[in-house]
Amino acid sequence: ATALSRIRPVETMSNSCEHADMFEFSLALSVASIMTIFRYVDIARNVIGEPAAEVAAKRDIRWRAVPTLWFIAAAYKSGSDFYATNCEQFQTNNVPIIFCLVGWVSWAIFGLFEHITWANKHQYKERFIPMNVSFAIHRYGEWFMLMFGESILSLIIVGGDPESAKYYVTFYSGVISIILLQRIHFRNEPHHSDEHALGRSRHSSYFYTILVPLYSAVLIAIGVSYKMFLYDFVYVDNGSNSRRVLAAEDSASTGDSSYDR
C-alpha cells in the first residue's frame, strides 16, 4: 500500500533530487520483500507437518533474494540522490526505475527456472505444495472483478461540471465497453480446475500467475484512458485551452509537476 501511494508521473519518479517519491517507492518494495523472506524463514524453521512446506519455503527464499537486492539498490540510488547536497535540480535519473523493473523481471525469470526448468518432474510433489485450484480460480475471479470495478471508478471520479454530449457519449461508451470486456473475460475463462490454466500443467499455471499482474495493469489503463478523454471534454466545456495528460513534457525543465498543460 505504501508503494502504491508513492506512484507518480515518470518525470517525478525520475527526478530523485527534487522528489522523494522514488526513494519511498523502492524502499517500500524492499521492506515488503524482506518481510516476505522473513516469513519464509519462519516457515522453513518452524513448520510442522508437510515436508514439502520446508522445501518450498527455502526455494522461495532463493526466489525472492535476487529481486530484493535490486529493490535495495534502487532505494539506495534514489535515496543518495535525494539526500545529496550537490545534486543538480531537474536532473533526470531513470536508474532507480530500471532497477525496480529489473527486479520484477528477475523475479519472473528466476521463478521460471525454479518452477519449470530446474524442477524435477518426478519430485515435483515433494518440492511444491499443491494448489487448491478451485479456490484460486474463485479468488482470481474476485480480483478481476475488482480491476473492472477500478476501471469503472476511473470514469466516475471526474471533476468539473460536464454538459456536452461528447462527454456523456464517452462516459457511457466506456462503461458499456468495460461491461462487455467483463462478460467476454468470464465467459471465456474456464470455471473448472481441469480446464483452467492453473490446473492443466505447471507450465500454464506459472505463466498464468505471471501474466495476471500485466493483465490487471491493462484493465486499469483502459479506465484511465477513458478518464483522460473525459477530462478533455470537461476543460473544453469550461472554456480552457489546457489539456489533461498523463505526464507534462516540460514539467521536468520548468519545475511544474501539474498534470495540466
Residue 242 belongs to a domain: yes
Over pLDDT 90: what percentage of the chain?
15
**Number of domains within the chain:** 2
* Reported confidence tier of residue 68, pLDDT bands at 50, 70, 90: very high
CA distance 119 to 121: 6
Q: What is the pLDDT of residues 171-202, one digit of tens each?
A: 788 888 889 999 999 998 888 888 888 888 87
Q: Specify whether 137 is located in the same domain as 113.
A: no
Phi, psi of 17 (to 5 degrees): -70, -35
Q: What is the pLDDT of residues 31-57, one digit of tens each?
A: 999 999 998 888 888 877 677 777 788
User: Regarding predicted confidence, which is higher, 241 or 64?
Assistant: 64
Residue 35 belongs to a domain: yes
- What residues make up the domain containing 181? 132-246
Among candidate residues 96, 130, 164, the one where a domain is terminated? 130
Q: Specify whether 21 is located in the same domain as 9.
A: yes
